[in-house]
A = this chain, B = another copy of it.
């Protein structure tokens, strides 16, 4: 069957699954082709090399998800805490629980071997994500809703559990230790907001 249109995305989808599961070096192109229901030679009609396939997998996985994530935030008008919750929930729906979650684990695993891909991921994902969080934190601090903290460090502290959740679901999940994303994110948000607020919701001023 000849399917010129659909082939590239079928191949990158198959490649992403195997790269996330086995890592770049341990993934065989024969297996990628087989999973896409195609012979290995066909792969080279659409991609110049294994590394070219890898780059396409990363870029194609990131770009659409990024656009969706940023779209969600334009013109948002609410409290810092509400904005944070929207960001976290949106991130989980648009990124964490989707294909992009696997991409994160993949990039982290292979960053040392592919510095330019790490750089691409840094510039197009991490920097943009940090910018969104910075806006939320600055708004909260400016209004006095949040305490005045080291914003850049806060951003990393907020991002880390999110990335870790992705990684967990794509690696250590193999042992019984499966995290419940809902509980995890709720608790993360709870601690986070109470840790940031100048006047926590639960405080008892008797």
Contacts and interface: CB of A to CB of B under 8 A. Distances in A.
Contacts of A152: 183
A21 interface: yes
A25 B24 CA distance: 9
A151 to B, nearest CB: 9
Highest count of chain B CB atoms <10 Å: which of A21, A170, A171, A199? A171
Interface stretch (A37-45, A68-76, A111-119): A111-119
Contacts of A175: 115, 118-119, 122-123
A36 interface: no
Given A160-B165, A161-B160, A177-B122, A109 B171 contact: yes
A49 to B, nearest CB: 16
Interface of A: 20-26, 105, 107-113, 115, 118-119, 121-123, 126, 147, 149-150, 152-154, 156-157, 160-161, 163-165, 167-168, 170-172, 174-177, 179-180, 183-184, 186-188, 190-196, 198-200, 202-205
